[in-house]
Chains A and B, each alone.
Chain A
Amino acid sequence: MAAKKLKCRECATEYPLEARYVCSRCFGPLEVGYDHERLADVGEVRRRIQGGPQNMWRYHDFLPLAGPQPRTRTGLPAGCTPLIRADRLAERLGLSEVWVKNDAANPTHSFKDRVVSVAATRARELGFDTLACASTGNLANSVAAHGAALGMNSYVLIPADLEEQKILATGVYGTNLVKVRGNYDDVNRLCTELSGDRENWAFVNINMRPYYAEGSKTVAFEIAEQLGWELPDRVVVPIASGSLYTKVAKGFREFIDVGLIDGDVPTMNGAQATGCSPVAKAFADGKEVCRPVKPDTIAKSLAIGNPADGPYALDLARSTGGSIDAVDDQEIRAGIRLLAETTGIFTETAGGVTTAVLQKLAESGAIGPDERVVIVITGDGLKTLDAVRGSFTEHEVDPTIESFEEAFAGSAHV
Protein backbone atom coordinates (compact mmCIF):
# COMPACT_ATOMS: atom_id res chain seq x y z
CA MET A 1 0.00 0.00 0.00
CA ALA A 2 1.29 3.45 -0.85
CA ALA A 3 -0.66 4.95 2.07
CA LYS A 4 1.74 5.48 4.94
CA LYS A 5 0.08 7.42 7.73
CA LEU A 6 -2.73 9.64 8.88
CA LYS A 7 -1.73 13.27 9.15
CA CYS A 8 -3.52 16.24 10.72
CA ARG A 9 -4.38 18.90 8.15
CA GLU A 10 -4.04 21.60 10.79
CA CYS A 11 -0.94 20.80 12.85
CA ALA A 12 0.69 17.96 10.84
CA THR A 13 0.75 15.51 13.75
CA GLU A 14 1.04 11.97 12.37
CA TYR A 15 -0.84 8.82 13.39
CA PRO A 16 -0.82 5.20 12.24
CA LEU A 17 -3.40 4.03 9.67
CA GLU A 18 -6.09 3.09 12.19
CA ALA A 19 -9.76 3.99 12.78
CA ARG A 20 -9.15 7.56 13.81
CA TYR A 21 -10.42 10.79 12.30
CA VAL A 22 -9.53 13.64 14.62
CA CYS A 23 -6.19 14.95 15.80
CA SER A 24 -5.96 14.53 19.57
CA ARG A 25 -3.90 17.69 19.85
CA CYS A 26 -5.99 20.22 17.94
CA PHE A 27 -9.16 18.42 16.78
CA GLY A 28 -8.17 19.00 13.15
CA PRO A 29 -9.21 16.44 10.53
CA LEU A 30 -6.85 13.62 9.66
CA GLU A 31 -6.00 12.86 6.07
CA VAL A 32 -4.24 9.89 4.50
CA GLY A 33 -0.62 10.54 3.54
CA TYR A 34 1.04 8.51 0.77
CA ASP A 35 4.46 7.60 -0.41
CA HIS A 36 4.04 8.14 -4.12
CA GLU A 37 7.76 7.86 -4.79
CA ARG A 38 7.29 4.17 -5.36
CA LEU A 39 5.07 5.16 -8.31
CA ALA A 40 8.08 6.67 -10.09
CA ASP A 41 7.61 4.58 -13.23
CA VAL A 42 4.67 6.49 -14.71
CA GLY A 43 4.31 4.18 -17.69
CA GLU A 44 3.97 1.20 -15.39
CA VAL A 45 1.41 2.99 -13.19
CA ARG A 46 -0.64 3.88 -16.25
CA ARG A 47 -0.47 0.31 -17.56
CA ARG A 48 -1.57 -0.99 -14.16
CA ILE A 49 -4.58 1.32 -14.22
CA GLN A 50 -5.52 0.48 -17.79
CA GLY A 51 -5.12 -3.23 -17.15
CA GLY A 52 -7.23 -3.02 -14.00
CA PRO A 53 -10.89 -3.88 -13.54
CA GLN A 54 -13.69 -1.71 -14.96
CA ASN A 55 -14.38 -0.13 -11.59
CA MET A 56 -12.65 2.19 -9.14
CA TRP A 57 -10.26 -0.53 -7.91
CA ARG A 58 -8.22 0.17 -11.05
CA TYR A 59 -6.86 3.15 -9.03
CA HIS A 60 -5.81 0.89 -6.18
CA ASP A 61 -2.32 2.46 -6.11
CA PHE A 62 -3.92 5.72 -4.97
CA LEU A 63 -6.28 4.31 -2.33
CA PRO A 64 -5.57 3.64 1.37
CA LEU A 65 -6.03 -0.12 1.42
CA ALA A 66 -3.50 -2.58 2.80
CA GLY A 67 -4.46 -5.81 1.10
CA PRO A 68 -3.96 -6.83 -2.49
CA GLN A 69 -6.38 -5.40 -5.02
CA PRO A 70 -9.83 -6.20 -3.63
CA ARG A 71 -11.49 -9.02 -5.46
CA THR A 72 -13.57 -7.20 -7.99
CA ARG A 73 -16.34 -9.71 -8.41
CA THR A 74 -17.45 -9.54 -4.80
CA GLY A 75 -18.96 -6.68 -2.89
CA LEU A 76 -20.41 -3.78 -4.83
CA PRO A 77 -17.73 -2.44 -7.16
CA ALA A 78 -18.34 1.23 -7.86
CA GLY A 79 -16.99 3.70 -10.37
CA CYS A 80 -16.14 3.74 -14.07
CA THR A 81 -19.30 5.74 -14.58
CA PRO A 82 -19.91 7.44 -17.95
CA LEU A 83 -18.37 10.77 -18.89
CA ILE A 84 -20.70 12.12 -21.54
CA ARG A 85 -20.07 15.00 -23.90
CA ALA A 86 -23.12 17.25 -23.53
CA ASP A 87 -23.14 19.33 -26.70
CA ARG A 88 -26.83 20.21 -26.47
CA LEU A 89 -26.39 21.48 -22.92
CA ALA A 90 -23.30 23.44 -23.98
CA GLU A 91 -25.18 24.98 -26.89
CA ARG A 92 -28.10 25.96 -24.67
CA LEU A 93 -25.71 27.74 -22.31
CA GLY A 94 -23.49 29.28 -24.99
CA LEU A 95 -20.46 27.23 -23.92
CA SER A 96 -18.05 25.38 -26.17
CA GLU A 97 -17.41 22.10 -24.37
CA VAL A 98 -19.36 20.60 -21.48
CA TRP A 99 -19.05 17.05 -20.14
CA VAL A 100 -21.28 15.33 -17.63
CA LYS A 101 -19.72 12.86 -15.20
CA ASN A 102 -22.79 10.78 -14.46
CA ASP A 103 -22.20 9.25 -11.05
CA ALA A 104 -25.84 8.26 -10.79
CA ALA A 105 -24.59 5.19 -12.69
CA ASN A 106 -23.20 3.56 -9.56
CA PRO A 107 -24.62 0.46 -7.82
CA THR A 108 -26.90 2.45 -5.49
CA HIS A 109 -27.23 5.35 -7.90
CA SER A 110 -24.97 7.95 -6.31
CA PHE A 111 -21.28 8.78 -5.90
CA LYS A 112 -21.47 7.60 -2.30
CA ASP A 113 -20.70 4.04 -3.45
CA ARG A 114 -17.12 5.20 -4.08
CA VAL A 115 -16.52 6.42 -0.55
CA VAL A 116 -18.35 3.53 1.07
CA SER A 117 -16.40 0.99 -0.99
CA VAL A 118 -13.15 2.32 0.40
CA ALA A 119 -14.46 2.77 3.95
CA ALA A 120 -16.06 -0.68 4.08
CA THR A 121 -13.01 -2.40 2.64
CA ARG A 122 -10.73 -0.61 5.08
CA ALA A 123 -13.15 -1.39 7.93
CA ARG A 124 -12.87 -5.08 7.14
CA GLU A 125 -9.09 -4.84 7.02
CA LEU A 126 -9.15 -3.28 10.50
CA GLY A 127 -11.38 -6.06 11.82
CA PHE A 128 -14.75 -4.28 12.12
CA ASP A 129 -17.93 -6.32 11.58
CA THR A 130 -20.48 -3.48 11.69
CA LEU A 131 -20.90 -0.51 9.35
CA ALA A 132 -22.73 2.63 10.37
CA CYS A 133 -23.30 6.16 9.11
CA ALA A 134 -25.03 9.49 9.52
CA SER A 135 -26.67 10.16 6.20
CA THR A 136 -28.69 12.63 4.18
CA GLY A 137 -29.96 9.67 2.12
CA ASN A 138 -27.53 8.61 -0.58
CA LEU A 139 -25.00 7.39 1.95
CA ALA A 140 -27.77 5.46 3.71
CA ASN A 141 -28.55 3.59 0.47
CA SER A 142 -24.90 2.80 -0.06
CA VAL A 143 -23.99 1.70 3.48
CA ALA A 144 -27.03 -0.56 3.70
CA ALA A 145 -26.23 -2.11 0.32
CA HIS A 146 -22.53 -2.58 1.06
CA GLY A 147 -23.43 -4.16 4.40
CA ALA A 148 -25.62 -6.62 2.54
CA ALA A 149 -23.04 -7.34 -0.16
CA LEU A 150 -20.18 -7.83 2.28
CA GLY A 151 -22.17 -9.65 4.95
CA MET A 152 -21.65 -6.93 7.53
CA ASN A 153 -24.20 -5.74 10.04
CA SER A 154 -25.21 -2.11 9.49
CA TYR A 155 -26.84 0.81 11.28
CA VAL A 156 -28.02 3.72 9.17
CA LEU A 157 -29.10 6.95 10.85
CA ILE A 158 -31.04 9.51 8.81
CA PRO A 159 -33.19 12.60 9.43
CA ALA A 160 -36.78 11.39 9.88
CA ASP A 161 -38.12 13.73 7.16
CA LEU A 162 -36.00 12.32 4.33
CA GLU A 163 -37.48 11.69 0.88
CA GLU A 164 -39.55 8.49 0.88
CA GLN A 165 -37.59 7.08 -2.07
CA LYS A 166 -34.35 7.26 -0.13
CA ILE A 167 -35.89 5.62 2.93
CA LEU A 168 -37.36 2.77 0.90
CA ALA A 169 -34.14 2.27 -1.05
CA THR A 170 -32.28 1.88 2.23
CA GLY A 171 -34.62 -0.34 4.23
CA VAL A 172 -34.86 -2.87 1.43
CA TYR A 173 -31.29 -4.06 2.08
CA GLY A 174 -32.16 -5.27 5.57
CA THR A 175 -30.23 -2.68 7.55
CA ASN A 176 -31.05 -1.27 10.99
CA LEU A 177 -32.73 1.91 9.76
CA VAL A 178 -32.91 4.65 12.38
CA LYS A 179 -35.01 7.76 11.68
CA VAL A 180 -33.82 10.56 13.93
CA ARG A 181 -36.23 13.35 14.81
CA GLY A 182 -33.97 16.21 13.77
CA ASN A 183 -31.96 17.54 10.83
CA TYR A 184 -28.75 16.07 9.43
CA ASP A 185 -26.56 18.04 11.81
CA ASP A 186 -28.51 16.53 14.72
CA VAL A 187 -28.02 13.06 13.23
CA ASN A 188 -24.33 13.75 12.80
CA ARG A 189 -23.95 14.94 16.38
CA LEU A 190 -25.71 11.82 17.66
CA CYS A 191 -23.48 9.57 15.53
CA THR A 192 -20.35 11.39 16.65
CA GLU A 193 -21.36 10.70 20.25
CA LEU A 194 -22.29 7.11 19.45
CA SER A 195 -19.00 6.46 17.69
CA GLY A 196 -17.14 7.26 20.89
CA ASP A 197 -19.01 4.51 22.71
CA ARG A 198 -19.34 1.88 19.96
CA GLU A 199 -15.74 1.01 19.35
CA ASN A 200 -16.54 -2.03 17.24
CA TRP A 201 -18.61 0.01 14.77
CA ALA A 202 -17.09 1.48 11.66
CA PHE A 203 -18.95 4.75 11.12
CA VAL A 204 -17.95 5.29 7.52
CA ASN A 205 -18.08 9.09 7.72
CA ILE A 206 -16.83 9.45 11.29
CA ASN A 207 -14.11 7.14 12.57
CA MET A 208 -13.45 5.87 9.01
CA ARG A 209 -13.69 9.32 7.48
CA PRO A 210 -10.05 9.67 6.35
CA TYR A 211 -10.39 6.48 4.26
CA TYR A 212 -13.95 7.19 3.15
CA ALA A 213 -13.04 10.63 1.82
CA GLU A 214 -10.23 9.20 -0.33
CA GLY A 215 -12.82 7.33 -2.41
CA SER A 216 -13.99 10.62 -3.89
CA LYS A 217 -10.62 11.11 -5.61
CA THR A 218 -11.60 8.40 -8.07
CA VAL A 219 -14.09 10.81 -9.67
CA ALA A 220 -11.13 12.95 -10.74
CA PHE A 221 -9.04 9.94 -11.77
CA GLU A 222 -11.82 8.75 -14.06
CA ILE A 223 -12.43 12.18 -15.57
CA ALA A 224 -8.74 12.50 -16.43
CA GLU A 225 -8.51 9.00 -17.86
CA GLN A 226 -11.77 9.34 -19.82
CA LEU A 227 -10.52 12.60 -21.34
CA GLY A 228 -7.51 10.69 -22.67
CA TRP A 229 -5.19 11.56 -19.75
CA GLU A 230 -5.99 15.23 -19.98
CA LEU A 231 -7.35 17.75 -17.51
CA PRO A 232 -10.54 19.74 -17.89
CA ASP A 233 -10.25 23.51 -17.46
CA ARG A 234 -13.05 23.71 -14.95
CA VAL A 235 -15.07 21.34 -12.79
CA VAL A 236 -18.40 22.08 -11.09
CA VAL A 237 -19.04 19.96 -7.99
CA PRO A 238 -21.85 20.15 -5.41
CA ILE A 239 -20.91 20.94 -1.83
CA ALA A 240 -22.53 19.49 1.28
CA SER A 241 -19.69 18.84 3.75
CA GLY A 242 -17.16 19.90 1.11
CA SER A 243 -15.47 16.51 1.15
CA LEU A 244 -16.22 15.52 -2.48
CA TYR A 245 -15.30 18.98 -3.75
CA THR A 246 -11.91 19.03 -2.04
CA LYS A 247 -11.09 15.40 -2.80
CA VAL A 248 -11.83 15.76 -6.52
CA ALA A 249 -9.14 18.45 -6.58
CA LYS A 250 -6.82 16.20 -4.55
CA GLY A 251 -7.32 13.46 -7.14
CA PHE A 252 -6.25 15.73 -9.99
CA ARG A 253 -3.30 16.95 -7.89
CA GLU A 254 -2.07 13.39 -7.25
CA PHE A 255 -2.24 12.44 -10.94
CA ILE A 256 -0.33 15.63 -11.80
CA ASP A 257 2.29 15.04 -9.10
CA VAL A 258 2.91 11.46 -10.18
CA GLY A 259 3.21 12.60 -13.80
CA LEU A 260 0.18 10.83 -15.25
CA ILE A 261 -1.22 14.13 -16.53
CA ASP A 262 0.26 17.55 -17.28
CA GLY A 263 -1.10 20.89 -16.16
CA ASP A 264 -2.70 22.45 -13.12
CA VAL A 265 -5.66 21.57 -10.96
CA PRO A 266 -8.73 22.85 -12.84
CA THR A 267 -10.73 25.88 -11.74
CA MET A 268 -12.96 24.43 -9.04
CA ASN A 269 -16.53 25.69 -8.77
CA GLY A 270 -18.65 24.62 -5.82
CA ALA A 271 -22.44 24.43 -5.93
CA GLN A 272 -24.80 24.87 -2.99
CA ALA A 273 -28.52 25.38 -2.47
CA THR A 274 -29.44 28.84 -1.22
CA GLY A 275 -31.43 27.23 1.60
CA CYS A 276 -28.22 25.65 2.91
CA SER A 277 -25.29 27.69 1.68
CA PRO A 278 -22.85 28.26 4.55
CA VAL A 279 -19.84 27.76 2.25
CA ALA A 280 -21.16 29.97 -0.57
CA LYS A 281 -21.97 32.67 1.98
CA ALA A 282 -18.51 32.53 3.56
CA PHE A 283 -17.00 32.68 0.07
CA ALA A 284 -19.06 35.74 -0.85
CA ASP A 285 -18.22 37.42 2.46
CA GLY A 286 -14.48 36.77 2.13
CA LYS A 287 -14.45 34.62 5.28
CA GLU A 288 -12.10 31.73 6.00
CA VAL A 289 -14.57 29.72 8.05
CA CYS A 290 -18.27 28.98 7.67
CA ARG A 291 -20.99 30.05 10.03
CA PRO A 292 -23.33 27.07 10.56
CA VAL A 293 -26.91 27.39 9.27
CA LYS A 294 -30.23 25.58 9.72
CA PRO A 295 -30.96 24.02 6.31
CA ASP A 296 -34.19 24.67 4.45
CA THR A 297 -33.95 23.39 0.88
CA ILE A 298 -35.35 20.70 -1.42
CA ALA A 299 -31.74 19.59 -2.00
CA LYS A 300 -31.73 17.40 1.10
CA SER A 301 -28.64 15.46 0.08
CA LEU A 302 -26.72 18.76 0.35
CA ALA A 303 -28.44 19.90 3.56
CA ILE A 304 -25.47 19.99 5.89
CA GLY A 305 -25.60 23.19 7.90
CA ASN A 306 -22.23 22.71 9.57
CA PRO A 307 -19.88 21.53 6.81
CA ALA A 308 -16.79 19.75 8.14
CA ASP A 309 -14.58 20.63 5.16
CA GLY A 310 -15.90 24.16 4.74
CA PRO A 311 -12.58 25.94 5.42
CA TYR A 312 -10.75 23.72 2.93
CA ALA A 313 -13.45 24.20 0.30
CA LEU A 314 -13.04 27.97 0.66
CA ASP A 315 -9.26 27.67 0.29
CA LEU A 316 -9.66 25.54 -2.82
CA ALA A 317 -12.15 27.82 -4.56
CA ARG A 318 -9.87 30.80 -4.00
CA SER A 319 -6.61 29.08 -4.89
CA THR A 320 -7.93 27.74 -8.21
CA GLY A 321 -9.69 30.93 -9.27
CA GLY A 322 -13.08 29.31 -8.85
CA SER A 323 -16.07 30.26 -6.75
CA ILE A 324 -18.82 28.78 -4.63
CA ASP A 325 -22.29 29.77 -5.75
CA ALA A 326 -25.80 29.06 -4.56
CA VAL A 327 -29.11 28.58 -6.36
CA ASP A 328 -32.65 28.60 -4.98
CA ASP A 329 -35.24 25.83 -5.07
CA GLN A 330 -36.85 27.13 -8.26
CA GLU A 331 -33.48 27.24 -10.01
CA ILE A 332 -32.76 23.71 -8.73
CA ARG A 333 -35.96 22.37 -10.29
CA ALA A 334 -35.13 24.19 -13.53
CA GLY A 335 -31.62 22.72 -13.40
CA ILE A 336 -33.00 19.19 -13.18
CA ARG A 337 -35.17 19.85 -16.22
CA LEU A 338 -32.35 21.52 -18.16
CA LEU A 339 -30.05 18.54 -17.69
CA ALA A 340 -32.80 16.04 -18.45
CA GLU A 341 -33.98 17.83 -21.60
CA THR A 342 -30.53 18.36 -23.08
CA THR A 343 -28.68 15.17 -22.07
CA GLY A 344 -31.24 12.50 -21.23
CA ILE A 345 -29.84 12.30 -17.71
CA PHE A 346 -32.34 12.55 -14.88
CA THR A 347 -30.63 13.73 -11.73
CA GLU A 348 -31.72 14.28 -8.17
CA THR A 349 -31.94 17.71 -6.56
CA ALA A 350 -28.18 17.88 -5.91
CA GLY A 351 -27.59 17.51 -9.66
CA GLY A 352 -30.13 20.25 -10.21
CA VAL A 353 -28.01 22.44 -7.95
CA THR A 354 -24.88 21.63 -9.94
CA THR A 355 -26.51 22.19 -13.32
CA ALA A 356 -28.13 25.44 -12.18
CA VAL A 357 -24.79 26.73 -10.91
CA LEU A 358 -23.22 25.87 -14.27
CA GLN A 359 -25.98 27.90 -15.90
CA LYS A 360 -25.38 30.77 -13.52
CA LEU A 361 -21.64 30.76 -14.25
CA ALA A 362 -22.30 30.63 -17.99
CA GLU A 363 -24.75 33.54 -17.85
CA SER A 364 -22.41 35.65 -15.74
CA GLY A 365 -19.62 35.24 -18.27
CA ALA A 366 -17.34 33.49 -15.77
CA ILE A 367 -16.61 30.66 -18.20
CA GLY A 368 -14.25 31.41 -21.07
CA PRO A 369 -15.19 30.70 -24.70
CA ASP A 370 -12.74 27.82 -25.14
CA GLU A 371 -13.09 26.16 -21.78
CA ARG A 372 -13.62 22.45 -21.32
CA VAL A 373 -16.02 22.13 -18.39
CA VAL A 374 -17.02 19.01 -16.47
CA ILE A 375 -20.03 18.91 -14.15
CA VAL A 376 -20.21 16.14 -11.57
CA ILE A 377 -23.73 14.69 -11.30
CA THR A 378 -23.81 12.84 -8.01
CA GLY A 379 -27.19 11.13 -7.83
CA ASP A 380 -30.24 9.75 -9.62
CA GLY A 381 -33.48 11.65 -10.18
CA LEU A 382 -35.55 8.66 -9.09
CA LYS A 383 -34.41 9.40 -5.54
CA THR A 384 -36.15 12.79 -5.37
CA LEU A 385 -39.23 12.44 -7.54
CA ASP A 386 -41.18 15.16 -5.74
CA ALA A 387 -38.83 17.75 -7.20
CA VAL A 388 -40.25 17.24 -10.71
CA ARG A 389 -43.84 16.43 -9.82
CA GLY A 390 -46.15 18.80 -11.68
CA SER A 391 -43.31 20.36 -13.67
CA PHE A 392 -44.57 19.16 -17.07
CA THR A 393 -47.77 18.68 -19.03
CA GLU A 394 -49.42 15.28 -19.26
CA HIS A 395 -51.92 14.26 -21.93
CA GLU A 396 -54.64 11.81 -20.97
CA VAL A 397 -56.71 10.63 -23.90
CA ASP A 398 -59.35 8.05 -24.81
CA PRO A 399 -58.02 5.23 -26.99
CA THR A 400 -59.32 6.87 -30.15
CA ILE A 401 -57.67 8.85 -32.93
CA GLU A 402 -60.15 11.68 -32.38
CA SER A 403 -59.25 12.04 -28.74
CA PHE A 404 -55.54 11.99 -29.57
CA GLU A 405 -55.96 14.61 -32.29
CA GLU A 406 -57.95 16.77 -29.95
CA ALA A 407 -55.28 16.59 -27.26
CA PHE A 408 -52.58 17.71 -29.70
CA ALA A 409 -54.64 20.19 -31.73
CA GLY A 410 -52.39 23.06 -32.69
CA SER A 411 -49.15 21.26 -31.92
CA ALA A 412 -46.57 21.66 -34.70
CA HIS A 413 -44.99 18.25 -34.06
CA VAL A 414 -47.97 16.07 -34.82
Chain B
Amino acid sequence: MAITVKLPTQLRDAAGGAATLQAAGATVGEALESVFAEHGELRERMYLDGDLRRFVNVYIGGEDIRFLDGLQTAVPDGSSLTILPAVAGG
Protein backbone atom coordinates (compact mmCIF):
# COMPACT_ATOMS: atom_id res chain seq x y z
CA MET B 1 0.00 0.00 0.00
CA ALA B 2 1.13 3.49 -0.72
CA ILE B 3 1.10 6.69 1.30
CA THR B 4 -1.37 9.40 0.37
CA VAL B 5 -0.21 13.02 0.35
CA LYS B 6 -2.95 15.67 0.47
CA LEU B 7 -1.95 18.98 -1.08
CA PRO B 8 -3.43 22.36 -0.17
CA THR B 9 -4.92 24.43 -3.00
CA GLN B 10 -1.81 26.64 -3.00
CA LEU B 11 0.41 23.75 -4.14
CA ARG B 12 -1.84 21.98 -6.59
CA ASP B 13 -0.64 23.89 -9.64
CA ALA B 14 2.85 22.52 -8.96
CA ALA B 15 1.46 18.99 -9.12
CA GLY B 16 -0.51 19.21 -12.35
CA GLY B 17 -3.64 20.25 -10.47
CA ALA B 18 -3.80 17.12 -8.30
CA ALA B 19 -5.29 17.40 -4.79
CA THR B 20 -3.73 14.14 -3.63
CA LEU B 21 -0.60 12.27 -4.66
CA GLN B 22 0.69 8.80 -3.94
CA ALA B 23 4.05 8.50 -2.22
CA ALA B 24 6.40 5.82 -0.92
CA GLY B 25 8.96 5.74 1.87
CA ALA B 26 9.50 4.83 5.50
CA THR B 27 9.65 8.39 6.83
CA VAL B 28 7.91 11.71 6.10
CA GLY B 29 11.11 12.95 4.47
CA GLU B 30 11.36 9.90 2.21
CA ALA B 31 7.71 10.07 1.27
CA LEU B 32 8.09 13.73 0.30
CA GLU B 33 11.24 12.92 -1.71
CA SER B 34 9.27 10.38 -3.71
CA VAL B 35 6.72 13.08 -4.50
CA PHE B 36 9.42 15.61 -5.42
CA ALA B 37 10.96 13.08 -7.81
CA GLU B 38 7.85 13.38 -9.93
CA HIS B 39 6.92 17.02 -9.22
CA GLY B 40 10.18 18.88 -8.80
CA GLU B 41 8.62 22.29 -8.23
CA LEU B 42 7.05 21.10 -4.98
CA ARG B 43 10.48 20.82 -3.40
CA GLU B 44 11.26 24.45 -4.08
CA ARG B 45 7.89 25.55 -2.71
CA MET B 46 8.04 23.46 0.46
CA TYR B 47 11.72 23.32 1.31
CA LEU B 48 14.40 25.85 2.13
CA ASP B 49 17.99 24.71 2.73
CA GLY B 50 16.96 21.07 2.88
CA ASP B 51 14.29 21.51 5.54
CA LEU B 52 10.61 22.41 5.59
CA ARG B 53 9.98 26.13 5.18
CA ARG B 54 8.83 27.65 8.47
CA PHE B 55 5.32 28.37 7.20
CA VAL B 56 4.68 24.85 5.89
CA ASN B 57 2.95 22.42 8.23
CA VAL B 58 2.86 18.66 7.64
CA TYR B 59 0.42 16.48 9.58
CA ILE B 60 0.21 12.74 9.95
CA GLY B 61 -2.98 11.42 11.52
CA GLY B 62 -3.90 14.99 12.47
CA GLU B 63 -0.64 15.52 14.38
CA ASP B 64 1.91 18.17 13.39
CA ILE B 65 5.17 16.34 12.60
CA ARG B 66 7.00 18.95 14.69
CA PHE B 67 5.49 17.19 17.73
CA LEU B 68 6.82 13.87 16.41
CA ASP B 69 10.22 13.37 14.83
CA GLY B 70 9.93 15.98 12.10
CA LEU B 71 10.96 14.72 8.69
CA GLN B 72 12.29 11.56 10.38
CA THR B 73 8.80 10.65 11.59
CA ALA B 74 7.93 7.09 10.60
CA VAL B 75 5.09 6.73 8.10
CA PRO B 76 3.21 3.44 8.27
CA ASP B 77 2.08 2.05 4.93
CA GLY B 78 -1.39 3.20 4.01
CA SER B 79 -1.26 6.39 6.07
CA SER B 80 -2.02 9.90 4.92
CA LEU B 81 0.10 13.07 5.06
CA THR B 82 -1.61 16.45 4.96
CA ILE B 83 0.28 19.58 3.95
CA LEU B 84 -1.18 22.93 5.01
CA PRO B 85 -0.11 26.57 5.27
CA ALA B 86 0.86 27.58 8.79
CA VAL B 87 -0.21 31.20 8.75
CA ALA B 88 -3.90 30.68 9.45
CA GLY B 89 -5.78 31.52 12.61
CA GLY B 90 -5.47 33.78 15.59
A residues with a Cβ closer than 8 A to B are 10, 21-22, 24-29, 134, 182, 184-186, 188-189, 191-193, 195-196, 203, 205-206, 209, 240-243, 289, 291-292, 294, 304, 306-309, 311
Contact = CB atoms under 8 A, between A and B. Distances in A.
Interface of B: 8-11, 13, 45-46, 48, 53-57, 59, 62, 64, 66-67, 82, 84-90
Contact of B89 (A188, A289, A291): A188
**DSSP class of B's interface residues: helix, strand, loop or mixed?**
mixed
Contact of B90 (A26, A195, A307): A307
Contacts of A193: 8, 82, 84
Contacts, number: 90
Nearest to A134: B89
B87 A28 contact: yes
A15 to B, nearest CB: 11
B88 A26 contact: no
Given A10-B55, A21-B88, A27 B10 contact: yes
B6 to A, nearest CB: 8
A308 B87 contact: yes
B59 A196 contact: no
B36 to A, nearest CB: 16
B89 A184 contact: yes
A182 B63 CA distance: 11
A26 B53 contact: yes
Nearest to B59: A189
11 contacts: A21-B87, A24-B13, A27-B85, A185-B64, A205-B89, A209-B87, A240-B90, A292-B64, A304-B89, A308-B87, A309-B87
Which residue among A21, A189, A203, A205 has the maximum number of chain B CB atoms within 10 Å of its CB? Answer: A189
Contacts of B89: 134, 184-185, 188, 191-192, 205-206, 241, 304, 308
Contacts of A307: 90
